[in-house]
Structure 1
Amino acid sequence: MCTRVFWNDNPIAKVTSRCMDWEVSDEPELWFHPRGLERSGGSQSDAATWRSTYSSVGLSMWNIGTSDGMNEKGLAAHALFLDDIEPPTGTGAPTITVELWVQYVLDHFATVAEVLDHIDDVQLIAPPIRGQYMGAHLALEDPSGDSAIIEPINGELVVHHGKEFTVMANSPDFDEQLANLARYAPFGGDLTPPGDITSLDRFVRASYFRHYLPEPTNIAETVAGVFRVTQNAAVPPGAPYSDGGVYPTWWHAASDVTNRVYYFWSTLSPSVIWVDLAALADGTELLALNPRLDDLIGDVTGRLASAELAY
């Protein structure tokens, strides 16, 4: 399904790309969220409530929550599907639904370390979304190159924290992904990269091609580099995979956390678009754009228009 790749050891910029793979389109909308928005962690009685500290830009999934985004401080967060999650329960902390996890993080924190310092402030829950179970794990990165993977497993939030954790896919859990990766060159084993599109194979292949990315000379090459890697892990729409575990790729996004520019590329379009969050950061108006419009290309910062908060 989805794959995330963080390129944090090049001399130009810290940049991430992720792709969104699902059975049907998640109908993404591109949002700018200003500071000071009043929010809730869901409709449940013990839901967390807060006022956003930081402005952010990101993509919504079916207009019920944020699946991917970056805030004005350069902290980026990415929710990818993870099967059979078991978050901690009975902690007494206010709750947030899994679809609001990304936005909660972007609204509150400036760095990966800050997120981890406050990891127990809320309790994650995973109610059905549109009648379907939707588990997730979270990838984080910031302009220092720091990275973390957070997985709700067996009643705990399991954290892998460090600049070395640059790739994430889907199930199995991250420890199993790392153990499998160690069977391949140049990560400790001698196997060559696999060619399938299962989560295990995508994790290895993304790690492999990220490892061999040539040093970029400018920001365009840097962003193109991470896009190339997630494209290699993507599934073209129409591919004949019907076992329920592999779905087509609907879009790619890239977060330049150094320069605060957010990119989007629909797989139904030949054109990449981007939003300059640094230019929008002090704005006070909620803005939105359908990023799948046929006429969009290049910098669309000025195309975002006034909108009402959907979630």
Structure 2
Amino acid sequence: MCTRVFWNDNPIAKVTSRCMDWEVSDEPELWFYPRGLERSGGPQPDAARWRSLYSSVGLSMWNIGTSDGMNEKGLAAHALFLDDIKPPTATDAPTIVIAMWVQYVLDHFATVAEVLEHLDDVRIIAPPIRGQYMGAHLALEDPSGDSAIIEPIDGELVVHHGAEYTVMANSPGYDEQLANLARYAPFGGDLTPPGDITSLDRFVRASYFRHYLPEPANVTETIAGVFRITQNAAVPPGAPYNDGGVYPTWWHAASDVTNRVYYFWSTHSPSAIWVDLAQLADGKELLALDPRREGLIGDVTARLAGADLAY
């Protein structure tokens, strides 16, 4: 149901790739959000309200929130599905719906450390989306190579913070994922990489192939490296989980947090596209593009067009 890989120990660029797996398409739209936008954490009476400090580029999910993105400072954030979350409740902090968690972070903060310093400023809530429960955990990275995984579990925000936390998948929680990973070589055990589509197997496989990535010669090879790993962890269309559910991979994204370039590749297209956020960062106009539009290829920075705020 989604896999994220951060390559932060190569000499060229700090880059991340993630894939989006779900039962139906999340109908992604590619947005540029300028600084100074008035935003809200949802329709609820106690929703947080803010004005964005940083411009960003990101992907919307059903035009109700941001699932993935990067801001002008190079902070990137990725929401991946996590089952049975229980966010903190014993607080009077203003709330944000979980679909706005990524955008809230990108609007406010420049580094992973800043995000973690302000975890208690708002409270995450998880109302149904399209009538369906939608839990999530958050992966973060920045140009320093710092990384964090944040999970709303048992009434607490459980944080794994450090450059070593480079891979994320879905349920179970991160501690269980790490314990399972330790059964495999070269992470402490002697098992060889598994090949199933389950979250546990995708986590191990992504960790294994990331570990053996050869040093890239340039940025192109760096981006291709992380794309190859999330492709390896992708779920082919029609492939069922053990419960019979089918959650294929709809798209891959990559964030070059060193050079501020954001990439998107639809699994229905043979070609990747990208947006140069460094070119757009000082822009004043809200822009959007359907990244699945037929015929798109390469740099589409100039093809984003004026749009109205959808959420």
- State the TM-score bracket (shorter-chain normalisation): over 0.9
In the other structure, the counterpart of 2:256 is 256
Number of residue pairs the alignment of both structures matches: 311
In the other structure, the counterpart of 1:275 is 275
The DSSP-based 3-state class of the residue aligned with 2:120 is coil
- The whole-number CA distance in structure 2 between the counterparts of 1:142 and 1:244 is 37
User: Is 1:125 matched with 2:125?
Assistant: yes
Deviations 1:113-159 (A, max 9, x none): 00000000000000000000000000000000000000000000000
Q: CA shift at 1:90, angstroms?
A: 2.8
In structure 1, list runs of 5 or more residues that go unmatched: none
The DSSP-based 3-state class of the residue aligned with 1:180 is helix
Q: CA shift at 1:236, angstroms?
A: 1.7
- Asked whether the 8 Å contact 1:197–1:246 carries over to 2, the reply is no
- The whole-number CA distance in structure 1 between the counterparts of 2:217 and 2:119 is 37
The DSSP-based 3-state class of the residue aligned with 1:4 is strand
In the other structure, the counterpart of 2:142 is 142
- The whole-number CA distance in structure 2 between the counterparts of 1:197 and 1:168 is 14
Q: CA shift at 1:244, angstroms?
A: 4.9
- The whole-number CA distance in structure 1 between the counterparts of 2:158 and 2:57 is 27
Please give the residue correspondences for 1:158-197 in structure 2 after superposition, counting only pairs within 5 Å: 158-197=158-197
In structure 2, list runs of 5 or more residues that go unmatched: none
In the other structure, the counterpart of 2:218 is 218
- The whole-number CA distance in structure 2 between the counterparts of 1:122 and 1:7 is 30
Q: CA shift at 1:242, angstroms?
A: 7.4
- Which amino acid letter does the alignment assign opposite residue 292 of structure 2? R
Q: CA shift at 1:243, angstroms?
A: 2.7
- Asked whether the 8 Å contact 2:287–2:307 carries over to 1, the reply is yes
- The whole-number CA distance in structure 1 between the counterparts of 2:6 and 2:260 is 15
In the other structure, the counterpart of 2:90 is 90
- The whole-number CA distance in structure 2 between the counterparts of 1:240 and 1:155 is 32
In the other structure, the counterpart of 1:290 is 290
Give the root-mean-square deviation of aligned CA atoms: 0.9
Deviations 1:179-219 (A, max 9, x none): 00000000000100001110000000000000000000000
- Asked whether the 8 Å contact 1:184–1:193 carries over to 2, the reply is yes
Query: Could you say if the C-alpha distance between residues 28 and 80 of structure 1 is closer, same or farther in structure 2, counting changes exceeding 3 Å?
Result: same
In the other structure, the counterpart of 2:236 is 236
Deviations 1:216-275 (A, max 9, x none): 000000000000000000012233557355510000000000000000000000000000
Identity of aligned residues (%): 88
- Asked whether the 8 Å contact 1:198–1:246 carries over to 2, the reply is no
- The whole-number CA distance in structure 2 between the counterparts of 1:53 and 1:216 is 34
User: Is 1:113 matched with 2:99?
Assistant: no
The DSSP-based 3-state class of the residue aligned with 2:227 is helix
- The whole-number CA distance in structure 2 between the counterparts of 1:199 and 1:187 is 17
- Which amino acid letter does the alignment assign opposite residue 263 of structure 1? Y
- Asked whether the 8 Å contact 1:213–1:225 carries over to 2, the reply is yes
The alignment's TM-score, normalised by the length of structure 2, stands at 0.99
The DSSP-based 3-state class of the residue aligned with 2:77 is strand
Query: Could you say if the C-alpha distance between residues 173 and 245 of structure 1 is closer, same or farther in structure 2, counting changes exceeding 3 Å?
Result: farther
In the other structure, the counterpart of 1:209 is 209
Deviations 1:153-181 (A, max 9, x none): 00000000000000000000000000000
